[in-house]
Amino acid sequence: MVDGGPVQVVHGANVARILFATKATAEPGRGRLLARLTPVAPLGGGEAQYAVTGQKVVDGRLYVRVMLARRPNGSAGWVAGDDVALDRTRWRIGVDLRARTVTVAYDGRRVKTIRAVVGSPLSPTPRGRFAVSELLPQRPASGFYGSLVIPLTAYSDTYTEYQGGPGRVAIHGRGGTSLADPLGTASSHGCVRISNGDADWLARRIEPGVPVTVR
């Protein structure tokens, strides 16, 4: 609200940074509690930022619909606009499972196409519209996940549990035994693997909330 004027939708905003602890509910300001969100990202401890999928003004108050990292895939919840700072990212990521590539675009123009390892036929990478949740640098970079893990809001349709975790899908680098699967193959458990050089390139450009489309 500005100078006591009416609350309006913020056009063009597609990411929301959490400023205060808040609730994500099934409807604007009411409904089933879907998640409790804090300014601190749950995995890496950085700033928590979410992809915005809608806005609505209810009873003079702005609510923002954000994509949530929870099952089922595509889950989203409404948070109070007063609890977030809205911004815009111009980056987009597209994963092509047939071509086994990751394409990075800025302002709608392709910047880079990256060869990748995608999920195998027995554990395919889920298709849909997701978002980057966090960026988690890995040290040393020689481990299975390489130099970087980028958790998405996506979960495996095959595994409800994998190696002690909930079957979360990520884009990540390569190292150790993951190097045995060549780039351009469909042989992962559902995650998208890229070279460490490409992972580091991504880390210098994208941020949490960047939309990711898997097709």
Q: What are phi and psi of 176, to 5 degrees?
A: 60, -135
Q: What is residue 12's predicted lDDT score, i.e. its pLDDT?
A: 81
Closest to 146 in 3D by CA, of 119, 111, 181, 106? 181
Look-up of token digits 């898997």: 214
Query: In whole angstroms, what separates CA 51 from the centre of its chain?
Result: 7
pLDDT digits (tens, 9 = 90+) for 71-105: 999 999 999 999 999 999 999 999 999 999 999 99
Give the pLDDT band of residue 164 (cuts 50, 70, 90).
confident
Percent of the chain with pLDDT over 70: 96
Residue 3 pLDDT greater than 50, yes or no: no
**Which one-letter DSSP state was computed for residue 44?**
T
Residue type, 142: S
Give the pLDDT band of residue 6 (cuts 50, 70, 90).
low
pTM, full prediction: 0.93
Look-up of token digits 């880390």: 203
